[in-house]
Amino acid sequence: MQKIYNIMENKLKNSLKKIGYDTNNVLVSPSNRPDLGEFQYNGLMTLAKEYHQNPRDIAEKLLRVLEEDNFFKNVNMAGPGFINLSISDASLIELINDDDYSYPKNDKLIFLDYGGANVAKALHVGHLRSANIGEALKRLCEFLGYKTISDTHLGDWGRPLGLVLYELSRRHPDWKFFDKDYQGEYEDVTITNELLKEIYPYASNKAKEDEEYLKCAQEFTKRLQEKERGLYKLWQIIMDVSKKDIKKNYDRLNTKFDLYKGESNAHDYVPEMLEYLDKQNIVIESEGAKVIPVSEPSDKLEIPPMLLIKSDGGILYSTTELATIYERVKSANPDEIWYVVDKRQELHFTQVFRAAYKSGIVKDDTKLEFIGFGTMNGKDGKPFKTRDGGVMDLTTLLDQVKEEALKRLNENILENREEIAEDIAIATIKYADMLPNTETDYNFDLEKFCSLDGKTGPYILYSTIRMKSILRKAQEQNLKYAKFKVLEGNFTRDLILTLSNFDNVLNNAFNNKSLSDITDYLYQIATTFNRFYTENIILTEKDEDKRSSWLYLTSIVYKVNCLLLDILAINVPERM
Ligand code: ARG
C-alpha cells in the first residue's frame, strides 16, 4: 500500500524547498471543500509569517511547481493561501494497484493488560469492554508490526476469594482443607462453576450485613495470602474451575491471552520488591501502614499516597499491581505497558505508575499507559441489570443478542444458523462497543445495535458478505481480473480515495489508542462501496476493462474490510 499522505507531504516539502522555503512541518488533510479539491494544505499562512512574506505570493510560486508534477491534477489556491490538491487518474490507478497492505516488523515490545476477570465471580458486562478494546488494540499493534504480550491479570488473590473460602468452610466444616494443622492428603471435592456463581454473591451480601462474617472472611483472605497449605490447595481447585469458565467466555469474544497470570503470581515478587523499595528510601510509615507518597506540586487535586502494606500486615490491590510491574520488567522488559481498565480505576493507576517511576521499578523511558473506558449502561442510561435486578453476567448478555440475531436471520438460510447468529451477535456487540470514544459511557440498545441500517455490526457484515458474494459469482462465471486499468463509473474514485486512507486511519488509531477511528472507517468504506455497487452493475458489464477494474477494486475493498474486521476480532460469517 502506498502511503498517500506521506507521498503528498514529501512532494510539498520538496516543492517548497525548490522555491526557497525550508520546512519539515507539512500537513495535508482531506479537503472540506470537495468542490475545490480532494485534499488541502493549509500551512502557508504560518510559513509566510516565519518568512515575513505574503502567503498568496508563496502560493503562486508553489502552484507553478506543483502543476509540473503529474501526480496531481487541478492544483489551485483559495482564500488567503489555502492550497487545494487532487490526484491525477494515473497516480490513483498506481495507488490502488499496489495491493500490499502489510507493515514491516519492528522490535518494540508492547505489553497489554486487559480482560481483568475475577476468579470465582462470573464475568459481567463491565468486563466486556476491556476484552473487546484490549484485544483489538493488541491486534492493531501486531498488525502495525509491534511485538506484543497480553495478560488477563486475573483478580485471584483478594477479598472475593476469602469470602468464597470462608463460606465453603461454613458449609463443610469437616473438610480437611480448613484444618491448619492437618498434614495428610486432602479429600476429593467437586466444585462447580454453578456453585461458585451462587456462593460468591451469597457471601458478599452476607458480609455487607454481618460484620463478624466479614471479619472471618478477611481472616481467610489473609490465611490464603500466607499460602496456608489446605486453603491454598482448595484455592487451586477453585482456580482451575473458574479459569476454564473464564476462557470459555473469552473464546466467544475471540479474545486470547498469552498469559493467564494474576494478582497471585505477583504475590511471589512482593518480598523482593519490598526489599528493593527499602533501598530506594521512598516508603514511609503512616498510621501503622506503609505508603509511598506520590503527590506532585503541579497536581490540581491532591493525589493520596499509594498504600503498600496495611497496618495489619496485609497487602492490597496496589501492592500486587506494583509487584506485577516489577515482575513484567524483570521477565519481559517491555517498552510500553498498556492497561485497558474501567476509567473509574484511574486514581489507582496514577498512584501505582508514579510509584513505579519514582522507585525506578520502571525506567523513565518505559511508557505506562492507562486506557480507561466508560461504562456500558442499559438502554435507559442506568446501570445494566438483568430483569430481576441482578448484575448482568456476560453469558446472559451474549445469549440475548444471539437470540435477537437468530430471530432476524434470513429464513432462507437453513444451515449453520446457530454459528452464523453467534458471529453476528459478537459483531453486533463489538462494533457497538468500539464505536463511541473509549472513555465515553454508552447505552446498550439492542434494537438499534442489531439493525441492518446505520453504524452497526450487522450493516458492516452485510456489506462485507456482499463484496464476497460478487467475487464468488465472478469466479463461478469465470470472469477474470488482475489489476486496475480504467478509472470509470460513479463513486470509483471516491472508493479508491477512501481506501487510500488506510495507513492514516490505522496510525491515528494507534497513536490515539482509539478504535472508533477504525469502526468509523469501516462505515465509510461500506457506504462508499454500497454507492459504487448501486451505480455500477459489475458482473454484467460488457466492457472488459471496466468490469475487471471494478472486480479488482471490489477484491481490494473486501480484503481491506477483512483486515480491519480482524483487527477488531470480528468474524465474518459465510452468509447472513
Ligand atoms: N480485576 C479487576 C476488576 O475486575 C481489573 C484488573 C485490571 N488490571 C489491572 N492490572 N489492575 O476490576
**Per-domain residue ranges of the chain:** 4-87, 159-252, 267-371
Q: What is the pLDDT of residues 190-246, one digit of tens each?
A: 999 999 989 999 999 999 999 999 999 999 999 999 999 999 999 999 999 999 999
* Residue 116 Cβ < 6 Å to ligand 1: yes
Which residue out of 118, 261, 347, 394 has the highest number of ligand 1 atoms within 8 Å of its CB and is therefore the one to mutate?
118
**Where are the alpha helices (H) located in 482-515, listed in sequence order?**
492-499, 502-512
* Residue nearest atom 10 in ligand 1 by C-alpha distance: 153
Contact 548, 485 (CB under 8 A): yes
Where would I find the H helices in 44-117?
A: 44-50, 55-68, 89-97
What does the alpha-carbon distance between residue 462 and residue 412 come to, in Å, rounded to a whole number?
Answer: 15
Q: Give residue 383's pLDDT.
A: 85
In angstroms, what is the span from residue 511 Cα to ligand 1's centroid? 24
Question: What is the residue-wise DSSP string for 10-41?
Answer: HHHHHHHHHTT---S---EEE-S-TTT-SEEE
**Confidence (pLDDT) at 121:** 85
- Nearest CA owner, ligand 1 atom 3: 116
**Spatial strand order in the sheet of 109-113:** 147-151, 109-113, 336-342, 367-373
Could you identify the atom of ligand 1 that is nearest to the CA of residue 317? 11
Q: What is the pLDDT of residue 393?
A: 86
Rounded to the nearest whole angstrom, what is the distance from the C-alpha of residue 262 to the centroid of ligand 1?
9
Give 265's contacts (C-beta < 8 A, 6+ positions apart): 324, 327
**Eight-state DSSP code of residue 236:** H
CB contact at 8 A, 374 and 440: yes
Which residues are CB-contacts of 423 (< 8 A; sequence separation ≥ 6)? 461, 571, 572, 573
The separation between CA 229 and the C-alpha centre of its own chain, rounded to angstroms, equals: 39
Quickly tell me which residue has 477504525 as its cell: 518
Question: What is the Cα–Cα distance from 123 to 526, expressed in whole angstroms?
Answer: 33
pLDDT at 312: 84
What per-residue confidence (pLDDT) applies to 146?
A: 98
Cβ(476)–Cβ(459) under 8 Å? Answer: no
Under 8 Å between Cβ of 512 and 561: no
Answer whether 135 contacts ligand 1 (Cβ < 6 A). no
- All three cell numbers of 329, joined, read 520488567
Q: How far is CA 87 from CA 27, 35, 498, 569, in A?
A: 16, 14, 13, 34
Provide the β-strand partners of residue 30. 39
**Is residue 134 in contact with ligand 1, taking CB distance under 6 Å?**
no
| Separation of CA 153 and ligand 1 centre (Å) | 7
User: Out of 3.90.850.10, 3.40.50.12780, 1.10.3720.10, 3.30.1360.70, which CATH number does the structure's domain 4-87 have?
Assistant: 3.30.1360.70
pLDDT of residue 317: 93
> How remote is the CA of residue 157 from the centroid of ligand 1, in Å?
12
The residue assigned the cell 470509470 is 488
Cβ-Cβ contacts under 8 Å for 429 (sequence gap 6 or more): 128, 132, 397, 398, 401, 449, 457
The closest residue, in CA terms, to atom 11 on ligand 1 is 321
Burial class (CB in 10 A: 0-12, 13-18, 19+), 446: middle
Q: Any idea which residue has 460513479 for its cell?
A: 490
Question: What is residue 270's predicted lDDT score, i.e. its pLDDT?
Answer: 95
Sequence-separated (6 or more) residues with CB below 8 Å from residue 60: 77
Q: How far apart are CA 485 and CA 191, in angstroms?
A: 65
Q: Which residues pair with 82 in a beta bridge?
A: 78
* pTM of the predicted protein model: 0.95
Nearest residue (by CA) to ligand 1, atom 9, is 153
CB of 118 shorter than 6 A to ligand 1: yes
Compute the Cα dihedral for 447, 453, 456, 461 and give only its sign: positive
Cβ contacts of residue 85 below 8 Å, gap of 6+?
A: 8, 28, 31, 37, 38, 39, 40, 41, 66, 72, 74, 75
| Cα dihedral value 201, 205, 208, 209, nearest 10 | -160
Q: Which three cell numbers stand for residue 266?
A: 505477583
Q: Is the CB of 153 under 6 A from ligand 1?
A: yes
Point out the residues of the chain with pLDDT beneath 50: none
What single DSSP character describes residue 390? S
Q: Is 155 in the pocket of ligand 1 (CB under 6 A)?
A: yes
Q: Which three cell numbers stand for residue 253?
A: 469474544
